[in-house]
């Protein structure tokens, strides 16, 4: 990389707080100048024509943006420009598709933001950057280990619904996810189980129930009654995604039927809610549209230090974690890890504290 030259960078992500975090990380490089930002497909294409940047750093899941075809078009129109994808998706097929479309690097959002400086330096030196967790995945595609497949809690949840005969649309609605996300999960599940279809996956689970983390029997009643369900409590879920709120509310309601669940999607709705309710627990997303959930935590803690707040995020960066805990949050949890067992423990600890 020519350190004497200034490289123009264009940032593209539909969340302002994410763009701010990326800008803060890469502007520590003396050779970098952020010349513009975009929040969707049309604004990105317009900014490319106007600014002609040296580097494009983008999340390809923005609104009105078709990842593969648009990346191919951008690569054809701007052959010398470096393209670094910054995404929450770690599906190896998805990554391979984008690398094949012409991107120079792929950085996972759950990796430290300061790693972006190294990523930028590498691609400017003509190298290809891939976040280390993805390197292991891509290498192991052609060299799978012969052992009992290990699935994430989300994958086990989807697989159990698949076993019930549910289609992708019903699974997506139940879990508050997009159908595309379910398809990506199924691709990974099939690969982990070394099967080719839904039927083969179900047959595999029937013969290997330990894959779901069970012995094939129903959940133990003692586990279901781990916490008393007659303890009244008020919980507020703050997230700008209505499907996620619905999904989390359903889980809480099934675990603790007598808990009062409230929902909000913005600062103003939260401030109105606390006027008429005393909440024992809040789940607050770090990103609320263009608003910052960490700032909301600071405001709430300032008014009442007794509020128990769990910050949640699909972008579990270490810097977000640090700022959230400093603001007064009780914990910071990656949304992917917010499964039934974790929710049960969080609420159980709250109503018994």
Tell me if domain 7-140 and domain 222-351 are identical in fold. Answer: yes
**Domain limits of the chain?**
7-140, 153-212, 222-351
| Paired tokens of 51 | 């600014």
- Quote the pLDDT of residue 137: 60
| Paired tokens of 321 | 């974690």
* Predicted TM-score of the model (pTM): 0.50
pLDDT score of 13 more than 80: yes
Name the CATH topology of 7-140: Rossmann fold (3.40.50)
Rounded to the nearest angstrom, the gap between the alpha carbon of residue 197 and the centroid of all alpha carbons in its chain is 26
Tell me which residue of 64, 94, 99, 69 sits closest to 84, measured CA to CA: 99
Average pLDDT, the chain: 82
DSSP assignment of 205-248 equals HHH-GGGGTS-SSPPPHHHHTSS-S----EEEEE-S-HHHHHHH
Range name among 77-81, 158-162, 205-209 with the lowest pLDDT average: 205-209
Q: What's the pLDDT band for 353 if we cut at 50, 70, 90?
A: low
pLDDT in tens, 80-129: 999 999 988 776 667 888 888 899 999 988 777 678 888 999 999 888 88
Residue 330: DSSP 8-state: S
Give percent above pLDDT 70 in the chain.
Answer: 86
Domain 153-212, classified CATH 3.30.1520.10, yes or no:
no
Superfamily of domain 222-351: Response regulator (3.40.50.2300)
| Paired tokens of 208 | 């290997």
């Amino acid at each position: 990389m020519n350190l004497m030259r200034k490289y123009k960078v264009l940032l593209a992500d539909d969340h302002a707080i994410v763009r701010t975090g990326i800008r803060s990380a890469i502007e520590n490089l003396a050779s970098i100048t952020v010349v513009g930002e975009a929040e969707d497909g049309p604004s990105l294409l317009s900014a490319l024509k106007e600014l002609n940047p040296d580097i494009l750093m983008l999340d390809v899941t923005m609104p009105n943006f078709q990842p593969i075809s648009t990346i191919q078009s951008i690569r054809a129109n701007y052959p010398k420009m470096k393209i670094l994808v910054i995404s929450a998706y770690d599906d190896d097929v998805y990554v391979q598709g984008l690398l094949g479309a012409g991107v120079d690097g792929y950085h996972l959002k759950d990796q430290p933001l300061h790693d972006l400086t190294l990523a930028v330096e590498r691609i400017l030196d003509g190298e290809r950057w891939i976040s280390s967790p993805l390197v292991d995945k891509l290498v192991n595609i052609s060299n799978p280990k012969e052992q009992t497949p290990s699935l994430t809690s989300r994958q086990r949840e989807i697989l159990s619904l698949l076993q019930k005969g549910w289609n992708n649309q019903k699974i997506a609605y139940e879990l508050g996810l997009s159908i595309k996300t379910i398809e990506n999960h199924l691709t990974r599940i099939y690969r982990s189980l070394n099967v080719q279809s839904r039927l083969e996956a179900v047959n595999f689970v029937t013969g290997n129930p330990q894959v779901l983390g069970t012995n094939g029997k129903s959940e133990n009643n003692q586990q279901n009654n781990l916490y008393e369900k007659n303890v009244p409590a008020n919980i507020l879920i703050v997230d700008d995604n209505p499907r996620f709120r619905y999904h989390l509310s359903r889980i809480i309601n099934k675990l603790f039927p007598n808990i009062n669940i409230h929902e909000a999607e913005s600062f103003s709705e939260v401030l109105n809610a606390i006027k008429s309710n005393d909440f024992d627990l809040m789940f607050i997303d770090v990103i609320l549209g263009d608003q910052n959930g960490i700032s909301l935590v600071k405001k709430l803690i300032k008014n009442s230090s007794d509020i128990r707040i769990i910050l949640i995020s699909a972008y579990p960066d270490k810097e977000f974690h640090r700022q959230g805990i400093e603001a007064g949050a009780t914990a910071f949890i990656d949304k992917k890890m917010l499964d039934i067992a974790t929710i049960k423990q969080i609420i159980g600890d709250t109503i018994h504290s």
